[in-house]
Amino acid sequence: MPLALKQALSAVTSVAALMLSGCGSEPVPPAPEPVTTTATLPGAQSAPAAPLPAPEALTDVLARLADPAVAGAQKVALVQFATPDDADALDRFATATVDAGLAPLTFQATDLTWSDTEYGDVVATVTIGSADPGPRHSTFTFPMQFTLHEGAWQLTRGTADQLLELQAQTPLPTPPR
């Protein structure tokens, strides 16, 4: 019998025993605590047995994405499901950091955990700042998700779409005349 079914039957039996005991003189023992692991929840996945990557493995992906010296075509492999059509958007991101006077950016990844929704993905809290911390430069922190593809870490497409505006921009409607 599967563990989850045993646990469910145990809980039902304990509740039934409590209800049937009524106001008897003997105390009813407490119900056993259910043991819940991600492996027993329907649809849930357990974390990989492999160790989490070093934070630098993830921040290196971000540093290359933000590096204006790396061509957009070379950055495509750094983003999950990216295509050559995304190269211009990747270049625009790096150019924007230079134009804003923020380049080079610094990245610090902390609180690395395995994703509870996408098996094998890693979620990290990433703090982004400027290497030249002037009075107008500040840092911001954002949760980011990474996936391992062919032995190399990539920023997930969902995170990239949020940060880098890779999704095609919808043109504004033409105003009526």
The whole-number pLDDT of residue 56 equals: 98
Q: What is the pLDDT of residues 15-40, one digit of tens each?
A: 223 223 344 444 444 434 433 334 44
Statement to judge: residues 68 and 16 lie in one domain: no
Q: How many structural domains comprise the chain?
A: 2
Q: Residues 82, 158: one domain?
A: yes
| Domain-embedded: residue 24 | yes
Report the alpha-carbon distance of residue 82 to residue 54 in Å, rounded: 24
62 and 145 part of one domain: yes
- Phi, psi (deg, nearest 5) at residue 121: -80, 155
The answer to the question of residue 17 being in a domain is yes
Taking every pair of Cα atoms in the chain, the longest distance, rounded to a whole number of angstroms, is: 86
pLDDT of the residue at 71: 96
Note down the domain range covering 5: 1-44
Report the predicted TM-score, pTM, of the whole model to 2 decimal places.
0.69
What's the mean pLDDT when you consider all of the chain?
A: 76
**DSSP character at residue 111:** E
Asked whether residue 66 is domain-assigned, the answer is yes
Are both 97 and 125 inside the same structural domain? Answer: yes
